[in-house]
A and B are shown apart, each in its own frame.
Chain A
């Protein structure tokens, strides 16, 4: 009997798990579109910070990781001196045989776009890879000169673009600057970022995310209403309201959380080993969905348990 009840409750959770999966896919799509836009905008995203540095009183913080810093001259946007620190996702690159990002930074390597003017590459740099971005005219004409942050000098240019997957790139940049004063510049976004259809579609994806949130909420409320009779039976059988709340939470919430976290972990592994994105904001959105849903299950469990034990049926006895 106990097993049957559990099976019944688990079965009703399948739809919720499906909706959870769809919301994770939507969250991933939001991040994916942002990554595509970033590639099309020359690997600069909406959270990138452009700034100008007139003088450098202290060297930049060499211990900070998880960012890409591009340095360029105001006369020409390319080539750029690019400082990559930590485990960050790079744009698609067709690598030469002996490509190794850590080694290449040390050995003055250049990554170039298919239509870049390679004659502008300074002496001492060798091409180790080509951008594999057939739709990004910006990266296709770009040249990245990989350098170590310790080699940063202002004679290479006073203009910088800082990009980090961190949720707060401003704080990270501030830590990197090590007290050097800099002037933030408000730059415009190009590529697919500047297509109205693209930004509108991002809003559609958010609406879809909201849609799944609503559907999941409606499903939770409806599912708990269906459990009313079961709660009444258990209440008659001697279970206290507190125990019923616990049973409902245990059966409804734990199974949901177990499967949804399994889903998220699977997605994380896929993201890490098969196809990764620039940042993990989609994971945050997924966790927000699971958190909201878990909260709604807890509230629904408490309210249904109270309603169908003490209030609805219990008062007669």
Chain B
């Protein structure tokens, strides 16, 4: 029987407690690591808007003016060029998030997904060609929205670069991303029948978003995507074939030019840039309005305050847990004092006692430090970042434990004064 086995047999419950405490400690380290990453990501997302000037673009095409504008056969091409130049301009970020319900045939979800559920104006389902359609919450987002808000998919993938380009007039399929509330209702690879600006599409589900994904929009600093179907806000690189769907192209192009400009430019500088684009594309029926940035500023403050609060509380918690962990170690050593007495009179040196005790603890600490990796590998998609960082922290922590346990054991042994105890 090994010495460690003898020690273990003597205080099974306490060693089990050490194991549990150690497991909880390292699980906390791992969860905190994930949480710090998450909090940083959240802060990083909102920081993309920090100190920036936000402007809302708004077209003037309504009523008679709209009719007159679209009577010109070049109007669609002009709008296309204008929106494309906005997207390509490097001095500004053109951010396009369009709240536009879409109709879905034989929709499997409940009323929460209905476009007007929250404000109580749910529309009745209707039938077209034997299919029942319901108006469902949907957002059309350009690539910049995904980039600045750090949108992540829980299952499947996000849109590829090509998904944001309307490549084929005859194409009837469109990639869609679903909010996290859709998990269990649809899955990546499923298809759904969509009416998007009255144009029928087969939506291919490419991914399910992670829970609590949100974007900043002009009207709402926080738009939660959990209940939304997300479509790519597509740019039209080729000639716009109006005959293929006049309403579709008109609505798509108009929505493309009603986005937010996020930039470091001053209003005067921005006006200059916009004048250039306007002159080059021959489109000037738009206004630039200063977007409401107070709410966004507060949102940035809130996210930063949240991170600070979490970090401070987490640091204090870790110190408390660590101290209690060391206390548990001292309890175990004390409860094993009778075993140490036996070892001592059997010829063990103090160094051997330190070593066997230290190795015993390190064995449990070592095992328990690796166990949290298993649920991580199972539950988290793309866990490599966390595994590498956790292992680095783990090595540092274990090294600290070796030193701390060694010093602590020496201190506890000195306090125990086993030789004195032998005198009876």
Bound together: yes
Q: Are A211 and B306 in contact (CB-based, < 8 A)? A: no
Binds A, one of B98-106, B253-261, B297-305, B382-390: B297-305
Closest residue of A by beta carbon distance from B31: A204
Q: How far is the CA of A135 from the CA of B295 in the complex (A)?
A: 9
Chain A residues whose C-beta falls within 8 Å of the C-beta of B314 in the assembled complex? 201, 204
CB of A52 within 8 A of CB of B306, answer no
Residues of B within 8 A of A134 (CB): 298, 301
Do B222 and A197 have beta carbons less than 8 Å apart?
no
A159 within 8 A of B: yes
Residues of the B chain whose Cβ atoms lie less than 8 Å from the Cβ of A191: 222, 302
Q: How far is the CA of A207 from the CA of B32 in the complex (A)?
A: 12
| Contact assessment for B31 and A185 in the assembled complex, using a CB-CB cutoff below 8 Å | no
B295 touches A201 (CB 8 A): no
- The answer to whether B295 touches A141 (Cβ under 8 A) is yes
Residues of chain B in range 203-262 having any CB-CB distance to chain A below 8 Å: 210-212, 214, 221-222, 224, 226-227
Within 8 A of B (CB), among A111-151: 115, 134-137, 140-141
Cα distance, A36 to B307, chains bound together (Å): 13
A73, closest chain B residue (CB) = B119
Given contacts A204-B32, A225-B335, contact A192 B118 (CB under 8 A): no
CA distance A225 to B335 in the complex (A): 9
Chain B nearest CB from A229 CB (Å) reads 12
Contact call B327/A137, Cβ cutoff below 8 A: no
Interface size classification for chain B: 35 or more
Residues of A contacting B14 with CB < 8 Å?
218, 222
> Most A CB atoms within 10 A — which of B27, B299, B335?
B299
CB proximity of B421 to chain A, nearest CB, Å: 14
In the complex with contacts A136-B302, A200-B35, A211-B321 CB distance below 8 A: yes
Q: Which residue of A lies closest to B121 (CB)?
A: A74
| Separation of A33 and B309 alpha carbons in the complex (Å) | 9
A64 within 8 A of B: no
Min CB gap B34→A, angstroms = 7
Known: A115-B294, A137-B295, A215-B324. A196 touches B212 (CB 8 A): yes
Q: How many residues of A contact B (CB 8 A)?
A: 48
A43 within 8 A of B: no
Q: Are B294 and A185 interface neighbours, CB within 8 A?
A: no
| Residues A221-235 near B (CB distance < 8 A) | 221-222, 225
Question: Are A207 and B17 neighbours in the complex by a CB distance under 8 Å?
Answer: no
- Inter-chain contact B24/A211, CB cutoff 8 Å: yes
Residue ID in chain B nearest A137 by CB atoms: B298
Query: Beyond A204-B32, A210-B24, A218-B328, is A135–B305 a contact (Cβ under 8 Å)?
Result: yes
Q: Is the CB of B31 within 8 A of A200?
A: yes
Instruction: Identify which of A36, A158, A198 gathers the most chain B CB atoms within 10 Å of its CB.
Output: A198
B18-63 contacts to A (CB < 8 Å): 20-21, 24, 27-28, 31-32, 34-36, 38-39, 42
Besides the known contacts A137-B299, A140-B294, A188-B227, 7 further A-B residue pairs in the complex with CB atoms under 8 A apart: A74-B120, A134-B298, A190-B224, A211-B24, A211-B324, A214-B20, A218-B328
Chain B residues close to A by CB (< 8 Å) = 13-14, 17, 20-21, 24, 27-28, 31-32, 34-36, 38-39, 42, 112, 117-121, 210-212, 214, 221-222, 224, 226-227, 294-296, 298-299, 301-303, 305-307, 309-310, 313-314, 317, 320-321, 324, 327-328, 331, 335
- 18 A–B pairs (Cβ distance < 8 Å), ordered by A: A22-B320, A115-B295, A115-B298, A135-B302, A137-B295, A137-B298, A185-B118, A186-B112, A188-B224, A188-B226, A191-B222, A191-B302, A195-B38, A197-B36, A197-B307, A198-B306, A200-B31, A211-B21
Seen from chain A, the residues whose Cβ lies within 8 Å of a Cβ on chain B are 15, 19, 22, 29, 33, 36, 40, 52, 74-75, 115, 134-137, 140-141, 158-159, 185-188, 190-192, 194-201, 203-205, 207-208, 210-211, 214-215, 218-219, 221-222, 225
